[in-house]
Structure 1
Amino acid sequence: MSDALTLLAVPGLPMVAAGDDLGAILAEGLAHAAIQPQPGDVLAVAQKIVSKAEGRSVPLASVTPSARAQALGAETGKDPRLVELILSESVRVVRSRPNLIIVQHRLGFVMANAGIDQSNVGRDGHALLLPLDPDGSAAALSARLGLPVVITDSFGRAWRRGTVGVAIGAAGLPALLDLRGQPDLFGRTLMVSITGFADEIAAAAGLVMGQGAEGRPAVLVRGLRWSAPALPASELVRVGAEDLFQ
């Protein structure tokens, strides 16, 4: 995996807007910072700038809430228009309480509010949805930049407080590393160890990206090693037959 890691924020990136060439922006940022990609480098990119570039910002004034959205909005204290967007991006509501709706996203993620956010969006009265195809977005950026890419978002976790960076898109690296069959420190064969490699990269990058006004949406993680074939972030989603909590 790694003996030592270096995390380098890509400085000076401009605010991203719909239709911007994000690949070109990131390439220019890397070049301006004299960051030359090397083997073992991975670029972690915050979901927000991907969604912004892809035009996933929706004005709430354009949304007509359904009766279900109005009822759930009244129950949770959320704007029914925002609830309508949450429902439209989800396949089921898992749980809800005041100011929180946990859903299964159309991409399979179980997450708060379908990943829809109004922080750091830059436009009042707008909500930002996840990319339509985060793995596809990562693949396009990876091809453009010539290095692996992980698209990150911040998730809460069941039974634990606080959010942490996770991968919602990945290209050019294995999102999962299957260690089963390898020996542990004492020669015992590993039987169940599968590492969420892309999630670990996203969490590490999150320490540099921050969660507020830091303005560091792209972080180069340097010093990684792997030998497994590439797998997209969709492989991180536990399939229904493995889900013990539904």
Structure 2
Amino acid sequence: RIWLSWETCMMSRKQGRNKIAKLLIPLPPNLQEAGDAQDDDHYTCDIRDIPETHRHLVLVLGMPKCGTTSLHYAFESAGFRSVHWALDAGIDLQSDRRLREWGEGASQRLICELMRCAVNAGRPPLADLPQVDAIAEMNGLYWRHKRRQWAEGYFPQISLLEKLLHCYPDAHYVLNVRDHDKWVKSVDLHNDMRQRLVCAELPGLPSGCGQLDEELVTWVEAHHQRVMSLLAGARLLVFDIERDGSLELSKFFGRRMEWDCHNATLY
């Protein structure tokens, strides 16, 4: 097996922008003689094979309706290239609505689907998002049928948690939390999110569960405990969106961050 130097990895990723590119890496003479090389004395390396552990990322691991839009704007205020639930969100509101409701264009735009496809192909979760520094919301939840009986849901912050920690040990992780009762109320008032949660098959929340407030609260509490247990000693900020603000964010990231309330559900 041929190992690339750290300098080569950094240079190649910068030049290749993480696209499927080919690098010609000189081989030692003994391997050239063994006939393992291509193009006489070079080894062709797929840039996707280069480890991603050097990427300095911000990954939000909390739930939707928990300040993710505000975090997205806070990240942008500090210069991060942030995405919130989908690529190009906010440019075409009608397209966004069709994506949120029916999953139209999910494989090209929805963050959770891009992450799932990358992992299913044996690549790091964010391999198809090389232009991104921060993910403010990574989950997706949409209807699979016009009759609204089955929902497709994928929460990478749950399903891919261990893989995220393995692939991105140097990332800054944010667990956004809030009062559970207020979170449930916000979910109820955000279109049909409660119904989609009930109709989806999610880890810890099988289809049919979530109709009772207690079921949703238990599900969220279990996720929070798992995150805090697995990330003990890592770069984790438990951020209470109702108590914390610019000071906590700025201190954690080591740069000035602006915190304001965006996309709040009124009740």
Structure with greater Cα Rg:
2
TM-score range, shorter chain: under 0.3
Give the TM-score normalised by structure 1. 0.22
Give the TM-score normalised by structure 2. 0.21
Looking at both structures, which has the greater relative contact order when contacts are Cα pairs under 8 Å and sequence separation is at least 6? Answer: 1
Q: Which has the higher strand share?
A: 1
Q: Which has the higher helix share?
A: 2
